[in-house]
Protein backbone atom coordinates (compact mmCIF):
# COMPACT_ATOMS: atom_id res chain seq x y z
CA UNK A 1 0.00 0.00 0.00
CA UNK A 2 1.30 3.42 -0.93
CA UNK A 3 2.44 5.94 1.63
CA UNK A 4 0.94 8.66 -0.56
CA UNK A 5 -2.50 7.36 -1.50
CA UNK A 6 -4.36 4.35 -0.16
CA UNK A 7 -5.26 1.85 -2.81
CA UNK A 8 -8.94 2.13 -3.68
CA UNK A 9 -10.31 -1.40 -4.23
CA UNK A 10 -13.04 0.01 -6.45
CA UNK A 11 -10.52 1.75 -8.67
CA UNK A 12 -7.59 -0.69 -8.69
CA UNK A 13 -7.81 -4.45 -8.39
CA UNK A 14 -5.15 -7.10 -8.55
CA UNK A 15 -5.79 -7.73 -12.24
CA UNK A 16 -5.27 -4.09 -13.16
CA UNK A 17 -2.08 -3.98 -11.09
CA UNK A 18 -0.75 -7.03 -12.88
CA UNK A 19 -1.64 -5.62 -16.30
CA UNK A 20 0.07 -2.30 -15.50
CA UNK A 21 3.25 -4.00 -14.27
CA UNK A 22 3.36 -6.37 -17.24
CA UNK A 23 2.96 -3.58 -19.77
CA UNK A 24 5.54 -1.38 -18.05
CA UNK A 25 8.10 -4.18 -18.00
CA UNK A 26 7.60 -5.21 -21.62
CA UNK A 27 10.86 -4.90 -23.55
CA UNK A 28 9.03 -3.25 -26.45
CA UNK A 29 7.71 -0.50 -24.17
CA UNK A 30 10.91 0.39 -22.34
CA UNK A 31 12.09 3.98 -22.78
CA UNK A 32 14.84 6.31 -21.63
CA UNK A 33 12.21 8.77 -20.41
CA UNK A 34 11.18 8.50 -16.74
CA UNK A 35 8.30 6.09 -16.32
CA UNK A 36 4.99 7.64 -15.33
CA UNK A 37 4.05 6.48 -11.81
CA UNK A 38 0.80 4.66 -11.14
CA UNK A 39 -1.87 7.16 -10.01
CA UNK A 40 -2.45 5.49 -6.65
CA UNK A 41 1.22 5.94 -5.76
CA UNK A 42 1.78 9.46 -7.08
CA UNK A 43 1.11 12.97 -5.83
CA UNK A 44 -1.02 14.14 -8.73
CA UNK A 45 -0.98 17.84 -9.61
CA UNK A 46 -3.58 18.79 -12.22
CA UNK A 47 -2.87 22.07 -14.01
CA UNK A 48 -4.97 23.85 -16.61
CA UNK A 49 -3.43 24.78 -19.95
CA UNK A 50 -3.84 28.50 -19.13
CA UNK A 51 -1.82 28.15 -15.94
CA UNK A 52 0.94 26.06 -17.50
CA UNK A 53 1.24 28.33 -20.55
CA UNK A 54 0.58 31.99 -21.24
CA UNK A 55 -2.42 31.81 -23.56
CA UNK A 56 -3.60 35.41 -23.24
CA UNK A 57 -3.47 35.99 -27.01
CA UNK A 58 -5.35 32.77 -27.72
CA UNK A 59 -7.86 33.54 -24.97
CA UNK A 60 -8.55 36.94 -26.54
CA UNK A 61 -9.37 35.26 -29.87
CA UNK A 62 -11.71 32.86 -28.09
CA UNK A 63 -13.53 35.63 -26.21
CA UNK A 64 -13.79 38.11 -29.09
CA UNK A 65 -14.20 35.84 -32.12
CA UNK A 66 -15.62 32.59 -30.72
CA UNK A 67 -14.60 28.98 -30.38
CA UNK A 68 -14.39 28.18 -34.11
CA UNK A 69 -11.91 31.00 -34.82
CA UNK A 70 -9.92 29.97 -31.75
CA UNK A 71 -9.70 26.34 -32.87
CA UNK A 72 -8.79 27.38 -36.42
CA UNK A 73 -5.99 29.58 -35.07
CA UNK A 74 -4.63 26.83 -32.81
CA UNK A 75 -4.85 24.23 -35.59
CA UNK A 76 -2.94 26.22 -38.20
CA UNK A 77 0.40 24.56 -38.86
CA UNK A 78 2.33 27.81 -38.56
CA UNK A 79 0.97 28.14 -35.01
CA UNK A 80 0.97 24.52 -33.82
CA UNK A 81 4.76 24.38 -34.12
CA UNK A 82 5.15 27.68 -32.30
CA UNK A 83 5.75 26.95 -28.59
CA UNK A 84 3.41 28.67 -26.16
CA UNK A 85 5.14 30.95 -23.66
CA UNK A 86 5.48 29.76 -20.03
CA UNK A 87 2.55 30.55 -17.76
CA UNK A 88 2.14 31.16 -14.06
CA UNK A 89 2.37 27.45 -13.09
CA UNK A 90 5.42 26.79 -15.27
CA UNK A 91 8.06 27.46 -12.55
CA UNK A 92 6.12 25.23 -10.13
CA UNK A 93 6.03 22.37 -12.65
CA UNK A 94 9.79 22.70 -13.22
CA UNK A 95 10.34 22.59 -9.44
CA UNK A 96 8.18 19.45 -9.14
CA UNK A 97 10.32 17.81 -11.81
CA UNK A 98 13.47 18.75 -9.85
CA UNK A 99 12.09 17.01 -6.76
CA UNK A 100 11.27 13.93 -8.86
CA UNK A 101 14.85 13.79 -10.15
CA UNK A 102 16.20 13.81 -6.60
CA UNK A 103 13.71 11.15 -5.49
CA UNK A 104 14.64 8.89 -8.40
CA UNK A 105 18.31 9.18 -7.45
CA UNK A 106 17.59 8.05 -3.88
CA UNK A 107 14.75 5.60 -4.63
CA UNK A 108 15.18 4.29 -8.20
CA UNK A 109 12.25 1.87 -7.96
CA UNK A 110 9.83 4.07 -6.04
CA UNK A 111 6.72 5.51 -7.67
CA UNK A 112 6.02 7.98 -4.87
CA UNK A 113 6.64 10.97 -7.11
CA UNK A 114 4.85 14.03 -8.42
CA UNK A 115 2.74 13.34 -11.49
CA UNK A 116 1.61 16.40 -13.47
CA UNK A 117 -1.64 16.10 -15.42
CA UNK A 118 -2.75 18.66 -18.01
CA UNK A 119 -6.43 19.21 -17.25
CA UNK A 120 -8.15 21.43 -19.82
CA UNK A 121 -11.52 22.04 -21.43
CA UNK A 122 -9.78 22.53 -24.77
CA UNK A 123 -10.87 20.39 -27.71
CA UNK A 124 -8.64 17.50 -28.72
CA UNK A 125 -8.03 19.18 -32.09
CA UNK A 126 -5.84 21.82 -30.45
CA UNK A 127 -3.83 19.24 -28.52
CA UNK A 128 -0.95 19.14 -31.01
CA UNK A 129 0.24 22.63 -30.07
CA UNK A 130 0.02 21.80 -26.36
CA UNK A 131 2.01 18.59 -26.89
CA UNK A 132 4.59 20.41 -29.02
CA UNK A 133 4.98 23.08 -26.34
CA UNK A 134 5.43 20.49 -23.58
CA UNK A 135 8.07 18.69 -25.64
CA UNK A 136 9.79 21.98 -26.51
CA UNK A 137 10.36 22.72 -22.83
CA UNK A 138 11.15 19.06 -22.03
CA UNK A 139 8.38 18.83 -19.45
CA UNK A 140 7.46 15.43 -18.07
CA UNK A 141 3.69 15.54 -18.62
CA UNK A 142 2.23 12.37 -20.08
CA UNK A 143 -1.37 12.44 -18.81
CA UNK A 144 -3.84 14.76 -20.54
CA UNK A 145 -7.54 15.35 -20.00
CA UNK A 146 -9.12 17.39 -22.82
CA UNK A 147 -12.86 17.76 -22.38
CA UNK A 148 -13.96 19.59 -25.53
CA UNK A 149 -15.58 22.59 -23.91
CA UNK A 150 -17.02 20.79 -20.88
CA UNK A 151 -15.82 21.35 -17.33
CA UNK A 152 -12.98 18.95 -16.42
CA UNK A 153 -13.89 18.95 -12.73
CA UNK A 154 -15.71 15.62 -12.92
CA UNK A 155 -12.48 13.92 -14.00
CA UNK A 156 -10.36 15.14 -11.09
CA UNK A 157 -11.28 12.28 -8.76
CA UNK A 158 -10.81 9.73 -11.54
CA UNK A 159 -7.26 11.04 -11.98
CA UNK A 160 -6.79 10.79 -8.18
CA UNK A 161 -5.90 14.49 -8.02
CA UNK A 162 -4.11 15.86 -4.94
CA UNK A 163 -4.13 19.49 -6.13
CA UNK A 164 -5.90 21.30 -8.97
CA UNK A 165 -4.60 24.65 -10.25
CA UNK A 166 -6.54 26.82 -12.68
CA UNK A 167 -7.18 30.42 -13.69
CA UNK A 168 -10.93 29.80 -13.59
CA UNK A 169 -12.25 30.65 -10.13
CA UNK A 170 -15.61 28.98 -10.74
CA UNK A 171 -13.97 25.65 -11.60
CA UNK A 172 -11.71 25.94 -8.55
CA UNK A 173 -14.72 26.57 -6.29
CA UNK A 174 -16.44 23.55 -7.82
CA UNK A 175 -13.39 21.39 -7.13
CA UNK A 176 -13.19 22.48 -3.49
CA UNK A 177 -16.88 21.70 -3.07
CA UNK A 178 -16.05 18.19 -4.32
CA UNK A 179 -13.43 17.88 -1.58
CA UNK A 180 -10.39 18.40 -3.84
CA UNK A 181 -7.59 20.80 -2.90
CA UNK A 182 -7.65 23.59 -5.48
CA UNK A 183 -6.67 27.21 -6.05
CA UNK A 184 -6.90 29.98 -8.63
CA UNK A 185 -3.44 31.11 -9.72
CA UNK A 186 -2.24 34.71 -10.12
CA UNK A 187 1.13 36.23 -10.95
CA UNK A 188 2.71 39.64 -11.32
CA UNK A 189 5.56 40.22 -13.74
CA UNK A 190 8.31 37.84 -14.80
CA UNK A 191 9.27 36.04 -11.60
CA UNK A 192 10.63 32.76 -13.00
CA UNK A 193 14.27 33.86 -12.95
CA UNK A 194 13.97 34.89 -9.29
CA UNK A 195 12.87 31.46 -8.07
CA UNK A 196 15.00 28.61 -6.81
CA UNK A 197 15.77 25.93 -9.39
CA UNK A 198 16.97 23.44 -6.76
CA UNK A 199 14.23 23.61 -4.11
CA UNK A 200 10.43 23.59 -4.30
CA UNK A 201 9.09 26.31 -1.99
CA UNK A 202 5.42 26.23 -0.97
CA UNK A 203 3.87 28.82 1.35
CA UNK A 204 0.50 28.44 3.06
CA UNK A 205 -1.81 30.74 4.95
CA UNK A 206 -3.32 29.08 8.03
CA UNK A 207 -7.01 29.75 8.67
CA UNK A 208 -9.33 28.65 5.84
CA UNK A 209 -6.36 27.14 3.97
CA UNK A 210 -4.54 24.55 6.11
CA UNK A 211 -7.18 24.83 8.84
CA UNK A 212 -10.92 25.35 8.74
CA UNK A 213 -12.39 28.85 9.07
CA UNK A 214 -13.89 28.11 12.52
CA UNK A 215 -11.61 30.59 14.31
CA UNK A 216 -11.70 33.15 11.52
CA UNK A 217 -15.49 33.26 11.85
CA UNK A 218 -15.08 34.40 15.46
CA UNK A 219 -12.51 37.03 14.48
CA UNK A 220 -14.71 38.42 11.71
CA UNK A 221 -18.02 38.34 13.59
CA UNK A 222 -16.99 38.99 17.21
CA UNK A 223 -13.68 40.87 16.98
CA UNK A 224 -10.06 40.17 17.82
CA UNK A 225 -10.42 40.19 21.62
CA UNK A 226 -13.01 37.40 21.49
CA UNK A 227 -10.84 35.58 18.95
CA UNK A 228 -7.79 35.71 21.26
CA UNK A 229 -9.88 34.51 24.22
CA UNK A 230 -11.29 31.66 22.14
CA UNK A 231 -7.89 30.51 20.87
CA UNK A 232 -6.38 30.50 24.35
CA UNK A 233 -9.37 28.64 25.80
CA UNK A 234 -9.21 26.00 23.05
CA UNK A 235 -5.42 25.95 22.70
CA UNK A 236 -5.23 22.20 23.24
CA UNK A 237 -8.15 21.38 20.90
CA UNK A 238 -6.88 20.85 17.35
CA UNK A 239 -8.42 22.97 14.61
CA UNK A 240 -10.43 21.15 11.97
CA UNK A 241 -8.73 20.56 8.64
CA UNK A 242 -8.93 23.07 5.81
CA UNK A 243 -8.95 22.47 2.04
CA UNK A 244 -5.13 22.43 1.64
CA UNK A 245 -4.26 20.30 4.67
CA UNK A 246 -4.11 17.19 2.49
CA UNK A 247 -1.56 18.83 0.17
CA UNK A 248 0.76 19.76 3.04
CA UNK A 249 0.38 16.18 4.21
CA UNK A 250 1.64 14.65 0.95
CA UNK A 251 4.49 17.18 0.79
CA UNK A 252 5.49 16.09 4.30
CA UNK A 253 5.48 12.43 3.28
CA UNK A 254 7.83 13.15 0.40
CA UNK A 255 10.06 15.25 2.67
CA UNK A 256 10.39 12.33 5.08
CA UNK A 257 11.78 10.19 2.26
CA UNK A 258 14.71 12.62 2.09
CA UNK A 259 15.06 12.73 5.86
CA UNK A 260 15.31 8.93 5.90
CA UNK A 261 18.41 9.26 3.71
CA UNK A 262 19.93 11.86 6.07
CA UNK A 263 19.16 14.69 3.63
CA UNK A 264 17.05 16.95 5.82
CA UNK A 265 19.37 19.92 5.29
CA UNK A 266 19.44 19.46 1.52
CA UNK A 267 15.79 18.47 1.10
CA UNK A 268 14.44 19.92 -2.20
CA UNK A 269 11.03 20.68 -0.62
CA UNK A 270 10.56 23.53 1.87
CA UNK A 271 7.24 24.58 3.40
CA UNK A 272 6.20 27.85 5.03
CA UNK A 273 3.29 28.97 7.19
CA UNK A 274 2.65 32.69 6.58
CA UNK A 275 -0.23 33.75 8.81
CA UNK A 276 -1.72 37.05 9.99
CA UNK A 277 -2.15 35.50 13.45
CA UNK A 278 -0.17 36.80 16.44
CA UNK A 279 2.26 34.27 17.90
CA UNK A 280 1.75 34.90 21.63
CA UNK A 281 -2.00 35.51 21.44
CA UNK A 282 -3.10 32.76 19.05
CA UNK A 283 -0.08 30.94 17.65
CA UNK A 284 0.12 28.01 20.06
CA UNK A 285 -3.10 26.41 18.84
CA UNK A 286 -1.84 26.43 15.26
CA UNK A 287 1.45 24.73 16.12
CA UNK A 288 -0.24 22.21 18.40
CA UNK A 289 -2.75 21.40 15.66
CA UNK A 290 0.05 20.64 13.20
CA UNK A 291 1.76 18.50 15.84
CA UNK A 292 -1.47 16.58 16.50
CA UNK A 293 -1.71 15.87 12.76
CA UNK A 294 1.88 14.60 12.71
CA UNK A 295 2.86 17.35 10.27
CA UNK A 296 5.94 19.57 10.21
CA UNK A 297 6.28 23.04 8.72
CA UNK A 298 9.79 24.22 7.97
CA UNK A 299 9.22 27.90 8.74
CA UNK A 300 6.34 29.54 10.62
CA UNK A 301 5.89 33.29 10.23
CA UNK A 302 3.34 34.97 12.54
CA UNK A 303 2.78 38.51 11.25
CA UNK A 304 0.24 39.87 13.76
CA UNK A 305 -1.69 41.59 11.00
CA UNK A 306 1.32 43.00 9.13
CA UNK A 307 1.37 42.76 5.29
CA UNK A 308 2.48 39.41 3.93
CA UNK A 309 3.94 40.74 0.67
CA UNK A 310 7.40 41.78 1.96
CA UNK A 311 7.98 38.45 3.72
CA UNK A 312 6.88 36.52 0.64
CA UNK A 313 9.21 38.64 -1.45
CA UNK A 314 12.08 37.33 0.71
CA UNK A 315 10.87 33.71 0.57
CA UNK A 316 10.15 33.71 -3.18
CA UNK A 317 7.85 30.68 -3.12
CA UNK A 318 6.84 28.85 -6.27
CA UNK A 319 3.29 29.19 -4.96
CA UNK A 320 1.58 30.91 -2.02
CA UNK A 321 -1.92 29.85 -0.95
CA UNK A 322 -4.30 32.28 0.78
CA UNK A 323 -8.08 32.50 1.16
CA UNK A 324 -8.36 36.29 1.07
CA UNK A 325 -7.92 38.33 -2.11
CA UNK A 326 -6.52 41.21 -0.04
CA UNK A 327 -3.44 39.12 0.74
CA UNK A 328 -3.29 37.72 -2.80
CA UNK A 329 -3.22 41.27 -4.20
CA UNK A 330 -0.47 42.29 -1.76
CA UNK A 331 1.61 39.30 -2.78
CA UNK A 332 1.08 39.95 -6.49
CA UNK A 333 2.20 43.56 -6.16
CA UNK A 334 5.61 42.38 -4.99
CA UNK A 335 5.98 39.68 -7.63
CA UNK A 336 4.88 36.56 -5.73
CA UNK A 337 3.04 33.76 -7.52
CA UNK A 338 -0.14 33.61 -5.48
CA UNK A 339 -3.06 31.18 -5.50
CA UNK A 340 -6.49 32.04 -4.13
CA UNK A 341 -8.35 29.38 -2.16
CA UNK A 342 -12.05 30.36 -2.36
CA UNK A 343 -13.14 28.84 0.92
CA UNK A 344 -14.68 30.05 4.16
CA UNK A 345 -16.02 33.26 5.63
CA UNK A 346 -13.16 35.31 4.19
CA UNK A 347 -14.94 35.26 0.82
CA UNK A 348 -17.54 37.65 2.31
CA UNK A 349 -14.93 40.25 3.33
CA UNK A 350 -12.39 42.51 1.63
CA UNK A 351 -9.74 44.38 3.61
CA UNK A 352 -11.66 43.48 6.77
CA UNK A 353 -14.92 44.99 5.56
CA UNK A 354 -18.06 42.95 4.88
CA UNK A 355 -18.85 42.87 1.17
CA UNK A 356 -22.47 43.79 0.54
CA UNK A 357 -24.38 40.68 -0.44
CA UNK A 358 -27.28 40.96 -2.88
CA UNK A 359 -30.63 40.84 -1.11
CA UNK A 360 -32.08 37.42 -1.95
CA UNK A 361 -35.70 38.59 -1.86
CA UNK A 362 -34.99 41.53 -4.17
CA UNK A 363 -32.96 39.32 -6.52
CA UNK A 364 -35.75 36.74 -6.67
CA UNK A 365 -38.31 39.39 -7.56
CA UNK A 366 -36.30 40.63 -10.54
Using CA atoms, how far apart are residues 231 and 239, in angstroms rounded to an integer?
A: 10
Q: CA nearest 204: which of 115, 353, 315?
A: 315
Cα 290 to its chain centre, rounded Å, is 19
The three-class DSSP label of residue 163 is strand
Question: Which residues are paired to 274 by β-bridges?
Answer: 301
Using CA atoms, how far apart are residues 214 and 309, in angstroms rounded to an integer?
A: 25
Cβ atoms 317, 336 nearer than 8 A: yes
Using CA atoms, how far apart are residues 259 and 256, in angstroms rounded to an integer?
A: 5
Cβ atoms 312, 290 nearer than 8 A: no
Return the DSSP state at 35.
P
Indicate which residues carry an active-site annotation.
205
Q: CA nearest 240: which of 191, 286, 271?
A: 286
Using CA atoms, how far apart are residues 21 and 218, in angstroms rounded to an integer?
A: 52
Amino acid sequence: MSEIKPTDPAATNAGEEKDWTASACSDSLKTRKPRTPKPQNAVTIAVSSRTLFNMDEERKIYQEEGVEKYMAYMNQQEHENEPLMPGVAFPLVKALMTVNSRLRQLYPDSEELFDIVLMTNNHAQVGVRLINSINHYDLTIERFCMTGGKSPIGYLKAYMTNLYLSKDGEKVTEAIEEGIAAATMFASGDVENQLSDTQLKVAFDGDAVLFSDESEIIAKQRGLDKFFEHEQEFENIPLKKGPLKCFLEVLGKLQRKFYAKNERMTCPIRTYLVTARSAASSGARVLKTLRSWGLEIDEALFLAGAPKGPLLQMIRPHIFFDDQMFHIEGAKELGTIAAHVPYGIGQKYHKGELIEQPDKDVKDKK
